[in-house]
Chain A
Amino acid sequence: MKQGRGSCRAATPPAVLGLVGLRAGGGVPGSASPAEAILSLGGLLVLLIGAWARGHRPALTASWLTLAAGAAALWSAPVPPASSPFFGLILCDPFSLAFRWLALGTLAIVLLLASASRELAAAVRGECYGLLLLLGVGLMLMAEANHLLMAYLAMELVSLSSYVLVGFLRERRSAEAALKYLLFGALSSGIMLFGMSLLFGLTGSLAFPDLQAAVAGTGGPMARALLVAAALMLAGLAFKISMVPFHMWTPDVYEGAPAAVTALLSVGPKAAGLALLLRLLEALAPLWASLSPLLLALTVVTMTLGNLVALVQTNVKRLLAYSTIGQVGYLLIGLAVHTRVGHEALLVYLVAYLFMNLGAFACVVAVMNGTGSEALEAFRGLARRAPGLSLAFAVFLLSLAGIPPLLGFVGKFLLLGSALDAGEVALAVAAAVNSAIALYYYTNIIRLMYFAPPAQAEPLSPSPSPALRLALGSCAAATLALGLWPGPLLELISRLAVVRLL
């Protein structure tokens, strides 16, 4: 990797880099995040349309336009290597740019799922789209936050929107899930907030760069108090990314929430939460020596627990929830090793995870639309009833399991590599063992789809809608194509994974 990076630097930037606008020049403060502004305005507009218009089509169209405009804005915005607009409240650097794109991508696919999902009542879809867009703004801001207040607000924006979205189905399980999510989230963010207040009290600063400066060189009871504050803050972020032992809401909420929302929750907040966690760890970098063992341990525990419990699940959403916990465990490797290679691997795996997990959820939505069931048994014999869908699902599952030549493998490859590179052999071995465990439940679904005879023979009806097909197709294509030719992606990410390291 080191040599690879070296050669990349020496070479002239390839054409792909033009896409992300890595052009020199400082932006005007306030204009650096037009994408967020567009999404916010668009979100408000969609909420309005949703409240007034009949049917969800107008709201959907508006949402797509908003997304397109947001993407265009993000595309064209000049992003200097690092700028801190809004008086340093947020940080626009390539790293956050990557996460903003991830958030946009997640939103786009989830929008497809939400518009195709039959379980979301037509009446509330407009609101749903609007909230999705606002949630997207929160995700982007989380990745950009450079200040405790921004971090807190962005997280709350994401949280509150998610609570509502989870409870969108007018039925008991959805309401239950929303309540659990709310209570769990409120407690976690309360604890985190208290931690922030302590941190502020200990350092007298709220902005991350100031925090870093203030934390440096502390010791004795002061360091101890800082660590306690850090532990409290960890609760909120760990909750967001479903890190064990703050994961317990995950399966219950994923099961109760509408599938499209579950898809969103399984990717968006995870990515943004990891970005924020990384930034926070940057801010607390002087404490890294103390935090690192804990993080490593929790990484292993997270992936192991997620994978073990996933083995015994019978509900596909619940299974994917535990799978998410396991995947977060893998993602945490990139964070826990805290090297540049690790960060690159983290980003690559996030991209992979976005496509394969959202793709998997698209399959779940399709099957739920067809069978009305989210039990694993609904997948029995699916290969005969919907061969294309089954193939796509198999691709996503195999990618999640890390089978080459799919994108998930590339990500896992880099993550394991980063662990070995950092000398964390035990971590790498644990991850490898976990991959083997995970194989069981992923292949179990494949087994059901392909090996078991179907309960009924006729094709799945209704067959996936065009929106769903688009989601499935694009995710599958990305998983496969980027798995086969990950070069450009890696190139891009090696430029984006620039986090100030100490």
Chain B
Amino acid sequence: MSVRLILLLSHALFALGVYGVLTRRHAIGLLLSIELILNAAALNFVLFSRAFGHVEAQAFALFIIALAACEAVVGLAIVIGLARHAHTVFADQVDLLKG
């Protein structure tokens, strides 16, 4: 069981998530990318929990999943609100507020 390898994988997942956040234009696409980041973190926790035999860390991963759900709910609600009031779902068209 290569900790290093899985770690590298989580890093990659994290970096890909970040890339997605930076490039995805659709707001929901951005949320998807954020799920990648959260998954990368959760993967880390599980990995280290296994390595250290740490129970709380695994619980941490559990909480991450729960929070990801919450974040998704709120995020999607906001996107729907945006679509309703701003008539767009593209994050880069949201530029009324600036300066």
Interface residues of chain A, those whose CB is within 8 Å of chain B, are 148-149, 152-153, 156, 160, 163-164, 167, 170-180, 182-183, 186-187, 190-191, 193-194, 196-198, 200-201, 204, 206, 251-253, 255-256, 312-313, 318
- Whether A256 and B97, one on each chain, are in contact in the complex, defined by CB atoms closer than 8 angstroms, is yes
- Among residues of B, the one whose C-beta sits closest to the C-beta of A159 is B71
B48 touching A201, Cβ below 8 Å = yes
Interface string of B14-38 (1 = CB under 8 A from A): 1001100100000100110010011
B49 to chain A, nearest CB (A): 8
Complex Cα spacing A206 to B31, Å: 27
Q: A152-B60, A152-B63, A174-B85 are in contact. List 19 more A-B contacts (CB 8 A).
A: A160-B74, A163-B78, A164-B74, A167-B81, A172-B85, A176-B86, A179-B78, A186-B31, A187-B21, A187-B34, A190-B37, A193-B41, A194-B40, A194-B41, A194-B44, A197-B41, A201-B7, A255-B97, A312-B99
Q: List the 10 closest A-B pairs by CB distance, nearest first.
A: A197-B44, A190-B37, A252-B97, A201-B48, A193-B41, A175-B82, A172-B86, A204-B52, A175-B85, A197-B41
- One of A156, A176, A252, A313 near B70 (C-beta < 8 A): A156
- Shortest beta-carbon distance, B91 to chain A, in Å? 6
Cβ contact within 8 Å between B31 and A179: no
Residues of B within 8 A of A204 (CB): 48, 52, 54
Q: What residues of chain B lie closer than 8 Å to A198, measured between beta carbons?
A: 44
Closest chain-A Cβ to B25's Cβ sits at a distance in Å of 12
Instruction: Out of B40, B48, B54, B75, name the residue touching A186 (CB < 8 Å).
Output: B75
Does A179 lie within 8 Å of B34, measured CB to CB? Answer: no
Q: Is the CB of A173 within 8 A of B37?
A: no
Min distance, Cβ A461 to any Cβ of chain B, angstroms: 29
Instruction: Closest A residue to B36 by CB, please name it.
Output: A190
* Residues of A contacting B27 in the complex (Cβ-Cβ under 8 angstroms): 179, 183
Chain A residues within an 8 Å CB radius of B70: 156, 160
Known contacts A163-B78, A194-B14; decide if A206 and B37 are in contact (CB<8 Å). no
In whole angstroms, what is the CA distance A201 to B70 when docked? Answer: 25
Chain B residues with CB under 8 Å of A252's CB are 97-98
Residue of A182, A191, A256 with highest tally of chain B CB at under 10 A = A182
Contact A176 B74 (CB under 8 A): no
Complex partner residue of A206 from B51, B56, B99, CB under 8 angstroms: B56
Interface flag for B8 (CB, 8 Å): no
A183 adjacent to B81 (CB under 8 Å)? no
Q: Which residue of the partner chain, among A179, A180, A197, A256, contacts B45 with CB atoms under 8 Å?
A: A197
Chain B nearest Cβ from A345, distance in angstroms? 32
Q: Which residue of B lies closest to A185 (CB)?
A: B71
Closest A residue to B46 by CB, please name it: A197
Q: Give the CA-CA distance A173 to B99 in the complex, in Å.
A: 14
Q: Which of A148, A163, A167 contacts B60 (CB 8 A)?
A: A148
Asked if A251 and B21 sit within 8 Å, CB to CB, the answer is no
Residues of B within 8 A of A152 (CB): 60, 63, 67
Query: Given A153-B67, A252-B97, A179 and B79 touching (CB < 8 A)?
Result: yes
Shortest C-beta distance, B82 to chain A (Å), equals: 4
Using Cβ atoms and an 8 Å threshold, which residues of chain A touch B98?
Answer: 252
**B85:A190 contact, CB within 8 angstroms:** no
CA distance in complex: A171, B84 (Å): 9
Known: A149-B63, A175-B86, A176-B94. A183 touches B41 (CB 8 A): no
CB distance from A26 to the nearest CB of B (A): 24
Nearest A residue to B80, CB-CB: A175
B96 touches A176 (CB 8 A): yes
Q: How far is the CA of A348 from the CA of B55 in the complex (A)?
A: 40
- Taking CB atoms, residues of chain B closer than 8 Å to A164 are 74, 77-78
Residue in chain A with minimal CB distance to B48 = A201
Give the residues in chain B near A251, CB-CB below 8 Å: 97, 99
Distance between Cα atoms of A183 and B77 in the complex (Å)? 13
Question: Chain A residue with minimal CB distance to B67?
Answer: A156
Bound-state Cα–Cα, A193 to B14, Å: 11
Contacts of A177 in B (CB 8 A): 97
Q: Given A178-B78, A179-B27, A200-B48, verify A313-B99 contact (CB < 8 Å).
A: yes
A174 vs B86: C-alpha distance when bound (angstroms): 9
Q: Are B38 and A171 in contact (CB under 8 A)?
A: no
**Residue contact B48 to A197, C-beta cutoff 8 Å:** yes
* Measured CA separation A149–B84 after assembly (Å): 35
Least Cβ distance of B6 to chain A in Å?
11
Partner of A182, one of B40, B57, B78, B85: B78
Q: Tell me the nearest residue of chain B to A318, going by C-beta.
A: B99
A254 and chain B: residue at smallest CB distance: B97
Residue B9, interface by CB 8 Å: no
In the complex, B12 has a CB within 8 A of chain A? no
| Bound CA span A148–B85, Å | 37
Complex Cα–Cα for A252 and B94 (A): 11
Residues of chain B with a CB closer than 8 A to A172's CB: 85-86, 96
List, sorted by A's number, 17 A–B pairs whose CB atoms are closer than 8 Å.
Answer: A148-B60, A152-B60, A163-B78, A164-B74, A167-B77, A167-B78, A170-B84, A176-B96, A179-B27, A180-B97, A187-B34, A194-B41, A194-B44, A197-B10, A200-B48, A200-B54, A201-B51
